[in-house]
Amino acid sequence: MNNKPIRKIVIAGGGTAGWMAAAALGKLLGKRLDITLIESDEIATVGVGEATIPTMIFFHKLLQIDEKAFLKATNGTFKLGINFENWRDVNEDYLHAFGVTGKDCWAAGFQHFWLKGRDKGFSKEFGTYCLERRAAEDNKFQHLPNNGLNYAYHIDASAYAKFLRSFSEKFGVKRLEGKIDKVNTADDLSAINSLTMDNGEVIQGDLFIDCTGFRGLLIEQALHTGYEDWSHWLPCDRAIAVQTEALQAPIPYTRSIAQESGWQWRIPLQNRVGNGLVYCSKYMSDEQAKQFLLENIEGQTLNEPRVIRFRTGRRLKQWNKNCVALGLASGFLEPLESTSIHLIQQGIVRLLRMFPHQGIMQTDIDEYNKQTNFDVEKIRDFIILHYKVTNRKDSQFWRYCQNMTIPKSLAHRIQHFIETGRVFREGNELFDDSWQQVMIGQGLIPEQYHPIVDMMSDEELERFLGQIELNIERTLQGMPIHNAYLDHYCSN
């Protein structure tokens, strides 16, 4: 497609996406590349992606980022999962944890053993058999040997961008302050040639990374890539975010509280709490949403609430010509399962693996887009699951969600689980154990279990379940309270 070697990278936009890209490219390929990031202090970033999932640990190991320094810089806390309140029905909660529940066998997942125990009357609640869930509920945390506890972080996203900027500049990344006035393309739109700044300066590049947020200044406004709208499956189209002072020590999980026309988040940091309301403007106005959020938070507000408008979906291509879109420029899935930063890092790592040193090839573009679409679609289905599988009928919003059509891929997975209790992970999709945690948490109980479970007598099965629970209890006894561990860890 283009045999020109790639030497000059231009990242349009900062924020989490821009500086994650700069950090990875600078650290891992910086000796071969000239990397410039353009951002303007006058353009605010969304900056509310404060909850993460465990894959961030891999990204930081790749970049050799010190965890303690990162936590101090971002006022970070540890996260073991998400507590879903009022999702199954009003006043019914469950916690989706990062760990694996129970023990599988070669033929059947743990849920099959749990199901028979449930039928016999001696299984406890499903989450009882997950260490991460129990630790979250007990407000405990500790690094365990052999990565024995799966965890992620709550962070200040704006502080994270600043932390990565300092990190990136050590590897030669140059930051250019200013606004982009024009994207200069070839006459046939075959490539982006350069960017013209508002002061007239022209920035040449071989590969451009679009991190300009919802605007998609390069990928959409210049290259007209197109957008696939998913709002019929994910109808929420607004969010209001506000920060509050912390009134208690941070807990090691995110709270997701389903409300009449959407859901509310609470994310505990060391120094404050991040709050927000994701809602559907068809059923709630911006003023109603603002008032509702302010009436349902704790502590004094630290900033003015702001409305963020979005449309769920994705660009038809995340890599188009010589432009790769990351973050909000590539599409948007609401942050219900904290996957936003994960998708950014996946896009970056995928680009590194396919980096076009000797020139951009269409086969790489096609493969990149194929893999990205797979990732996004699987996460999309997982998020839709929370809305579709619910007993709530108390508002127009929830009645719409319960009755809406869903993607065939999700409909099959739900029906297969109901009829057989089976959940199969497809390829390298992100979520695995999470599927049965959420389906059972939302109220789906399979009609049967795998016959291999009957190879165990009832007594053996009861001992098997009891031993899992006992091992978890023993581990929990030696674990400190989350905030005490965090204070000690970050002070060393």
Buried b (16+ CB within 10 A) or exposed e, 36-64: bbbbeeeeebbbbbbbbbbbbbebbebbe
Q: Is residue 44, in this structure, part of any structural domain at all?
A: yes
Helix crossing, 433-441 with 408-420: angle to 10°? 80
**444: exposed, middle or buried (C-beta count within 10 Å: 0-12, 13-18, 19+)?**
middle
Q: Is residue 275, in this structure, part of any structural domain at all?
A: no
Answer for the pair 322, 207: CB distance below 8 angstroms, yes or no: yes
Give the DSSP letter of residue 32. G
Q: Residue 187 contacts by C-beta under 8 Å, 6 or more apart in sequence?
A: none
What number of other Cβ atoms are within 10 A of residue 18's Cβ?
30
pTM for this entry: 0.96
Task: Tell me the C-alpha distance between 39 and 211, whole Å.
Answer: 10
396: tokens are 């127009």
Q: What is the pLDDT of residue 391?
A: 95
DSSP string, 114-125: HHHHHHHT----
Q: Is residue 33, in this structure, part of any structural domain at all?
A: yes
CA dihedral sign of residues 51, 57, 60, 65:
positive
For the chain, the maximum distance between any two Cα atoms, rounded to a whole number of angstroms, is 78
Domain count, the chain: 1
pLDDT 10s digit of each residue in the chain, 492 long?
667 889 999 999 999 999 999 999 999 998 889 999 999 987 666 556 589 999 999 999 999 999 999 999 999 999 999 999 999 999 999 999 998 999 999 889 999 999 999 999 999 999 999 999 999 999 999 999 998 999 999 999 999 999 999 999 999 999 999 999 999 999 888 899 999 999 999 999 999 999 999 999 999 999 999 999 999 999 999 999 999 999 999 999 999 999 999 999 999 999 999 999 999 999 999 999 999 999 999 999 999 998 999 999 999 999 999 999 999 999 999 999 999 999 999 999 999 999 998 899 999 999 999 999 999 999 999 999 999 999 999 999 999 999 999 999 999 999 999 999 999 988 888 888 899 999 999 999 999 999 999 999 999 999 999 999 999 999 999 999 999 999 999 987
Q: Is residue 30, in this structure, part of any structural domain at all?
A: yes
Task: Tell me the C-alpha distance between 24 and 63, whole Å.
Answer: 7
Task: Tell me the C-alpha distance between 277 and 288, whole Å.
Answer: 11
CATH number at residue 318: 3.50.50.60
Give the DSSP letter of residue 86. E
What number of other Cβ atoms are within 10 A of residue 445's Cβ?
13
Q: Is residue 222, in this structure, part of any structural domain at all?
A: yes
Sheet order of strands, 192-197 included: 180-185, 192-197, 202-204
Detail the DSSP E strand segments found in 289-354. Answer: 306-309, 313-315, 319-320, 323-325, 331-332
Q: Is residue 316, in this structure, part of any structural domain at all?
A: yes
Q: Is residue 433, in this structure, part of any structural domain at all?
A: no
Q: Is residue 468, in this structure, part of any structural domain at all?
A: no
Task: Tell me the C-alpha distance between 87 and 140, whole Å.
Answer: 24
Task: Tell me the C-alpha distance between 67 and 380, whole Å.
Answer: 30
